[in-house]
Amino acid sequence: MYRQYQEHTYGVYTYFRNIALLDMKQGDVTGDGIMDYVYLYGSKHDETEIFADNITLVIQDGRSNQISTIDLQNNAGHNAKLFLGDFSKDNIWDILVSIDSGGSGGYGIFYIYSFRNNIPRKLFDFEKYNNDYKFNVNYEDLYKVSVGSPSLDLLFTIDISYKGNDYMSQLYYENGKLKQPVKGEVLSAGALNPIVTNQKSMSYDLLVFQRIIGISNSDTLGYVENLLTWNGTQFLSARLAATILGTKLSSPSSC
């Protein structure tokens, strides 16, 4: 990583902004068979900090050395990084940009771009994904939590009977009836992992994780896991599931 200083002038005011190279990858993203250079630059107040803003994607064509830049709509966060891989199944590497929001919710900022023939095309936008995959989380009688999506026609049920008495007594009467309506939440996408599901083609699908929370942000009930695959024009869900956290097989008192 290295830093450079870039001068900006607005009228009679001039200031210097600290520009940092956040990540760099090499790969053929244009499809001409020649290695290209892909960079993430951002502004930092100090080279040791992990937060950057004004994060910009820069592509240098390996054949012509032409420089192209892509301004990200959401361009501030922590640990910005790149991944190159074929998501669109055209045998040309695409560009995945991942940025941690840094908030307590653990949200992520994710974009995927194709740069085939030096033409930028956005394949994935995390905000569109979060709008497309919304869920309702409701506590039910008898120590259950329902996670449903009317638009997707899906319903998952989580058993929370493993929760301790202090937790349960806040929400339930002794007969298992809810004292009052209680809602949880499925948070925005927090992780997006490229995975190879077909080793012959070596193209990538996406596994997206959204955390399911109960009565507080620290009350994790499970995760929505969504396997996305490219169908030629967009990413579609190939498998969507709700996963739960494991508990101890036996309590200390039963040992």
The tens digit of pLDDT for each residue in 177-223 reads: 999 999 999 999 999 999 998 777 789 999 999 999 999 999 999 99
CA dist., res. 197 & res. 176, Å (int): 43
User: Could you tell me if 90 and 149 lie in one domain?
Assistant: no
Closest CA to 89 of 196, 230, 199: 230
Give the global pTM.
Answer: 0.87
Where does a domain end: 79, 105, 125?
125
User: Could you tell me if 147 and 115 lie in one domain?
Assistant: no
CA dist., res. 17 & res. 46, Å (int): 11
- Is residue 111 situated within a structural domain? yes
Mean pLDDT of 132-150: 96
User: How does pLDDT run across 119-135, given as a tens digit for each residue?
Assistant: 999 999 999 999 999 99
3-state secondary structure 78-137: EEEEEEEECCCCCCCCEEEEEEECCCCCCCEEEEEEECHHHCCEEEEEHHHHHHHCCCEE
Model pLDDT, residue 250: 63
Closest CA to 58 of 97, 9, 8, 107: 97
User: Could you tell me if 94 and 138 lie in one domain?
Assistant: no
Residues 138, 156: contact at Cβ < 8 Å?
A: no
- Is residue 12 situated within a structural domain? no
- Is residue 10 situated within a structural domain? no
Split at pLDDT 50, 70, 90, the class of 21 is very high
Lowest average pLDDT, out of 5-14, 130-139, 144-153, 163-172, goes to 5-14
- Is residue 188 situated within a structural domain? yes
Split at pLDDT 50, 70, 90, the class of 247 is confident
Q: What is the DSSP letter of 171?
A: H
User: Could you tell me if 186 and 210 lie in one domain?
Assistant: yes
Strands (DSSP E) contained in 164-253 are 185-198, 203-213, 220-230, 235-244
Residues 52, 76: contact at Cβ < 8 Å?
A: yes
Which helix (H) or strand (E) segment holds residue 168: the answer is helix 165-171
**What is the number of structural domains in the chain?**
2
User: Could you tell me if 138 and 249 lie in one domain?
Assistant: yes
- Is residue 81 situated within a structural domain? yes
CB atoms within 10 A of CB 246: 7
User: Could you tell me if 143 and 250 lie in one domain?
Assistant: yes
Where does a domain end: 125, 160, 187?
125
User: Could you tell me if 27 and 84 lie in one domain?
Assistant: yes
User: Could you tell me if 143 and 101 lie in one domain?
Assistant: no
Where does a domain end: 109, 125, 141?
125
Mean pLDDT of 130-146: 97
User: Could you tell me if 84 and 144 lie in one domain?
Assistant: no
User: Could you tell me if 111 and 141 lie in one domain?
Assistant: no
User: Could you tell me if 114 and 219 lie in one domain?
Assistant: no
Residues 69, 56: contact at Cβ < 8 Å?
A: yes
Host domain of residue 170? 133-254
CA dist., res. 188 & res. 153, Å (int): 19
23 vs 101, residue with greater confidence: 23
Split at pLDDT 50, 70, 90, the class of 251 is low
